[in-house]
Chain A
Amino acid sequence: MKTTVEESTVLDAKVLELNMGPQHPSTHGVLRVKLKLDGERVLDAECIIGYLHRGVEKISENRSYIKCVPYYDRTDYIAAVSNVYGYLLGVEAMMQIEVPKRAQYIRIMMTEFSRISSHLLWLATHAIDIGAMTVFLYCFREREEILKLFEALFGARLTTHAFRVGGLWKDLPAGFEEAARKFIDEFPERVDEYEQLLTKNRIWMARTQGIGVISGKEAIEWGLTGPVLRGSGMKHDVRKDRPYGGYEEFDFDVPVGENGDTYDRYLVRLEEMHQSRRIIQQVLDRLPDGPVRGKAPKIVKPPVGEYYSGIDGPRGELGYYIVSDGSAQPFRVRIRPPTFISLQVLRRLVRGHLMADVIAIIGTLDIVLGEVDR
């Protein structure tokens, strides 16, 4: 069944080299995959990235700690809120700034909203890659509602510049809680609709089951995190393993898959949306009163030191390794991009599959090229 490059040269079959991307409808941006094809069967694939490289890490070294923040919105622009969250947790830990409870809760809520919106966008693009174009627009409808919430609270929809050192920019606007409640009340129904279109659909199952299988052990070896790792049956979540920012106060499950294939990862992400919804519900029920911005100095100057702050972003472990030399600018900020690392595994996953599966596997890894290339 599986042909390797060597075999096919022995058989004197011609290998077709196909450039998928950087401009291709379903490489989610500017990913370029060089495929070696035997007919439609993929013998090898090489990712060529860097088309969106903007040098965010270099920019960070040349900006003060506060000025860096808007740039992290633009690494993983699908889940901008999570990005800023991870970085600020690191800075606040180094500065020993106490974030007020209310701000903590709102941060968690918005991060979970960001997870839902990111998963919705993933589902939308994944579905349209496989041909189900209607799910795309249904998902965008719900995402729009979340973006409206972002707009009301943060003042922007996509690159939100969500949080500030020590808390939030401003408290929740009037009517926010009602809108959020309305959204989470309606949300399960909407997810059921996607499921009605996809989960049991024989074409969807045929296209995703058994595609891109990776075992849990191998997934760890490849450094996979987040839903991709959980889809392989490993119950690991940074929110549970190394709780941060107050996540330990909330009740949620970590869904896991069984087979580690594309279908399981799909189910895991759907369930994660439900769990995020649960967290938001708890936040809304228990939201304390109080200030939303802690006492943070005007100039952020962490002491000499280094800190790694990892959070569970929608795509996996999103880490910020901040090294301070005591000045107002970071000595180095290293972003651990979850999708940069999980994209490596593409080569391993697509071998032996058909060309159409490459699309499905790229989709299931949920890459964002802004983050891969930074």
Chain B
Amino acid sequence: MMDFLRRIFFVDILKGLALTFRYTYRKVYTEQYPLEKPKLAGRYRGAPRLNNDPVTGETLCIACDLCAEICPEDLIVVGSQRDPESRKKVLTHYTFDTSRCLFCGLCQEVCPTNAIELTQDFELAAYDRRSMVWDRKQLEKGWDRIHFGKDYHK
């Protein structure tokens, strides 16, 4: 009987309506993304960066090739040369193909000097594929973002 009354008076539906009505005038949850940049965790693995020594400005990379070895996609190419004087390996070039990157973070984990690092920069869109392969210069500078229309990030 109770059940019948509930059905007749649409109790189930009215309960749902009450819930949605409560929500109508509640604070919204979403972020207005390009206007409002998300706060990413410090561990977030985004755009790669090749770090320089903050004091001397020289690269931290010792061209050990570990990152290239561990990379599942084989997308890191490290070029090195042996310095005839100090018998040290010197980095000549370094490319990182972000279009194939899994962002698994194995390269930064394995790096002995914290040279390669995945930063919190996540807007990696580019207009063509070629510009997704980053060379050493770009890696050291950080990602030069593609801007759309009026610059949302300023």
Interface residues of A (CB under 8 A from B): 63, 66-71, 73-74, 134, 141, 144, 148, 151-156, 159, 161, 164, 169-170, 173, 193, 196-197, 200-202
Closest A residue to B7 by CB, please name it: A202
Residues of B within 8 A of A67 (CB): 70-72, 106
Residues of A within 8 A of B70 (CB): 66-67
Given contacts A67-B70, A69-B104, A156-B103, contact A151 B12 (CB under 8 A): no
**How far is it, in angstroms, between the C-alpha of A196 and the C-alpha of B19 when the chains are bound?**
8
Interface residues of B (CB under 8 A from A): 7, 12-13, 15-16, 19-20, 23, 29, 40-45, 70-72, 102-106, 109, 118
Contact between B104 and A200, CB atoms less than 8 A apart: no
Contact between A155 and B12, CB atoms less than 8 A apart: no
**How far is it, in angstroms, between the C-alpha of A169 and the C-alpha of B12 when the chains are bound?**
48
Partner of B12, one of A69, A74, A156, A201: A201
Contact between A196 and B43, CB atoms less than 8 A apart: no
- Report A137 CB to chain B, min CB distance, Å: 8
**How far is it, in angstroms, between the C-alpha of A117 and the C-alpha of B9 when the chains are bound?**
35
Contact between A169 and B109, CB atoms less than 8 A apart: yes
Partner of B15, one of A66, A70, A170, A196: A196
Residues of A within 8 A of B42 (CB): 173
**How far is it, in angstroms, between the C-alpha of A287 and the C-alpha of B15 when the chains are bound?**
40
The residue in A134, A154, A155, A161 that gathers the most chain B C-beta atoms within 10 A of its C-beta is A155
Contact between B44 and A156, CB atoms less than 8 A apart: yes
- Report B125 CB to chain A, min CB distance, Å: 17
- Report B71 CB to chain A, min CB distance, Å: 8
**How far is it, in angstroms, between the C-alpha of A68 and the C-alpha of B7 when the chains are bound?**
55
Partner of A141, one of B7, B20, B29: B29
Contact between A159 and B103, CB atoms less than 8 A apart: yes
**How far is it, in angstroms, between the C-alpha of A66 and the C-alpha of B118 when the chains are bound?**
19
**How far is it, in angstroms, between the C-alpha of A154 and the C-alpha of B45 when the chains are bound?**
9
Closest A residue to B11 by CB, please name it: A200
